[in-house]
Amino acid sequence: MQELSALAGVLAALTVGVISPGPSFVMVARTAVSASRSHGLAAALGMGAGGVLFALTALGGVMMLLGLRLVFPGHRA
């Protein structure tokens, strides 16, 4: 039962983090209001492209570390 309450606390914290707007949302909203809707859309697409690029770079780094066996040096495939 104690594990369930700990899980509920983590889930509540993650939910608050997902609901709250971050700095990227503020930047996109400010751009859309101050410039135009198309500028806001371009800012949102740029933020999305940056997120994808970041994720692919991180995935490539993890794959490289696993390929070099730096993470699990004693593990055999």
| Residues 50-72: tens digit of each pLDDT | 999 999 999 988 888 877 766 56
Its pTM stands at: 0.62
Q: Which amino acid is at 57?
A: T
74 lies in a domain?
Answer: no
70 lies in a domain?
Answer: no
40 lies in a domain?
Answer: yes
Tens digits of per-residue pLDDT, 20-48? 888 999 999 999 999 999 999 999 999 99
State the residue range of the domain holding 8.
Answer: 2-49
44 lies in a domain?
Answer: yes
Q: How far apart are CA 77 and CA 59, in angstroms?
A: 20
Contacts of 33 (CB under 8 A, 6+ apart): 40
55 lies in a domain?
Answer: no
6 lies in a domain?
Answer: yes
Contacts of 59 (CB under 8 A, 6+ apart): none
* Count of domains forming the chain: 1
